[in-house]
Structure 1
Amino acid sequence: MKKFVTLFLLSVCMMLTLTACGSTEATTSSPPQSQNGVAEKSAPEAEEQKADGNSKILVAYFSCTGNTKTLAENAADVLKADLYEIVPEKKYTSEDLNYKDESTRATVEQKDNSARPAINGKVSSFEKYDTIVIAYPIWWGQAPRIIDTFLESYDFSDKKIIPICTSASSDIGSSADALHNLCSASANWVDGKRFSKDTSKQELEQWFSSHQIQSGK
């Protein structure tokens, strides 16, 4: 009788052990559940977006308020050009741009012909571009000094340069002439133009075509 009881108890223990193992395997093999009981799917890895960089035209721009950025992006789209933002190492604040205060950063820089604000980053393979569009806002009648920094950072020999700018009221004026003096004498400067922030892509395309500037691809 004792032998029978012992065998019965061993059988029960084995059954309980197998049941527990089966429960554990089911739990670990099931997909993770959200709070509402629906199985969650693993999120796909984000695809890295890269510009192909095959254009022979570069649109380089500096923008603080976004107006010149919009113009530059539209110009790059029309010309199928590569786009490069000129980013200052020390970004400009709204107070820096207060033209009513003679002590603000931008005012002091614009009055100093030797001021060269540092740029964060470089244009990769600059030598491959044969045409450079430079887009900038008008500050105190001239291009921001950081554009001077950009022009003095690369060799523009034999490259075509097209200055375009944005302004609430001022025309491109002498700003392009001042920039011209900073580049190699062999650089081919095209007469620039001021555009409003609302200039359409069609208007830009017509203007570029009138200056024999075609798509870069």
Structure 2
Amino acid sequence: MKKLLTTLSTMILLSIVACAQQNQQEMKSSQTDKKVLVVYFSATGTTKTIAQKVAKAAKGRLYEIVPAQAYTSADLNWHNQQSRSSLEMNTPDSRPAIAGEAVNINDYDVIFLGYPIWWDFAPRPVNTFIESHHFDGKRMIPFATSGGSSINNSVATLKKTYPQIDWAEGKLLNSTSAANITQWVEKVLE
């Protein structure tokens, strides 16, 4: 009788452990089954490099915000108040035209949004992209590159400008290793 009770107890315990393991695998699977889009704007290639690492870590699709008119070095000269980027950033309602292939936001659950910091904000082509799509039910995770600014003001401005979007905390990813990016991506996708 004692042997039978021990055997039954062992079987019950093994069943409980097996169910717990299956639940953990299902939870992990549902997290990794999220369809991820990594959208980025990069005028010089710096943000593009980081976006590629984010897309690889998230196993997501990479999508570039392409301006209809590419930015030249002269356009990006922030020392010249008459440069294209200076004029755009000093005009809050500026929305430069964008080109490139269309993307169906409805195909994705989570969207990483990458951009360089310009004048402590996201560049205006990012606003054009956001205003060209509907993000209902989507989680937006901003990341940025910068020569000296933090991401805080740009994210605060995006949240204020687009309060209907479910924004995650942003992260500045200057010269960040692929391992650190993977760690961050895994954390924000939990």
Superposition TM-score tier, normalisation by shorter sequence? 0.7 to 0.9
Kindly state the Cα deviation for residue 174 of structure 1 after the two structures are TM-superposed. 1.1
CA contact (8 A) 1:63 1:136 kept: yes
**What is the CA–CA distance in structure 2 between the aligned matches of 1:135 and 1:123, rounded to whole Å?**
17
Aligned to 1:121: 100
Is 2:180 aligned against 1:192? no
Q: Which has the higher helix share?
A: 2
The one-letter code of the counterpart of 2:169 is D
| Percent identical | 41
Give the Å deviation of 1:63. 0.5
Q: Secondary structure at the match of 2:113?
A: strand
Partners in 1 of 2:61 and 2:88 — Cα distance? 29
Which ranges in structure 2 are unaligned for 5 or more consecutive residues? Answer: 1-32
Do 2:152 and 2:170's aligned partners in 1 also have CA atoms closer than 8 Å? no
Greater Rg, structure 1 or structure 2? Answer: 1
Task: Kindly indicate whether residue 88 of structure 2 is the aligned counterpart of residue 109 of structure 1.
Answer: yes
Q: Measured at CA, do residues 135 and 74 of structure 1 come closer, stay the same or move farther in structure 2, by a change above 3 Å?
A: same
CA shift digits 1:131-187 (9 cap, x unpaired):
0100000011111000000110000111100000000111102101212234362x3
Amino acid at match of 1:210: K
- CA offsets, 1:51-78, max 9 Å, x none? xxx9711000011111100000000000
Query: Any conservation in 2 of the 1:156–1:184 contact (CA below 8 Å)?
Result: no
Q: Any conservation in 2 of the 1:55–1:80 contact (CA below 8 Å)?
A: no
Q: In 1, are the aligned partners of 2:105 and 2:135 still within 8 Å (CA)?
A: no
Q: Determine the structure 1 residue equivalent to 2:73.
A: 94
Partner of 2:180: 203
What secondary structure does 1:100 align onto? Answer: coil
The answer to whether structure 1 residue 83 and structure 2 residue 83 are counterparts is no
Residue 38 (structure 2) aligned to one of 59, 62, 81: 59
Unaligned runs of 5+ in 1: 1-53
Q: How many aligned residue pairs are there? A: 158
Call closer, same or farther: CA 1:55–1:86 in 2, change over 3 Å: farther
Asked whether the 8 Å contact 1:152–1:182 carries over to 2, the reply is no
Query: Structure 2 length as normaliser, TM-score?
Result: 0.79
For residues 83 and 202 of structure 1, what CA distance do their matches in structure 2 show? 19
Within a 5 Å distance, the mapping from 1:1-217 to structure 2 comes to: 56-183=35-162, 185=164, 187-196=165-174, 198-211=175-188, 213=189
Cα RMSD (Å): 1.6
Aligned mates of 1:165, 1:75 — CA distance in 2: 11
> Following the alignment from structure 1 to structure 2, what is the Cα–Cα distance between the partners of residues 182 and 127?
21
The structure 1 segments of at least 4 consecutive aligned residues displaced by more than 4 Å after TM superposition are none
Q: In 2, distance between residues paired with 1:113 and 1:188?
A: 22
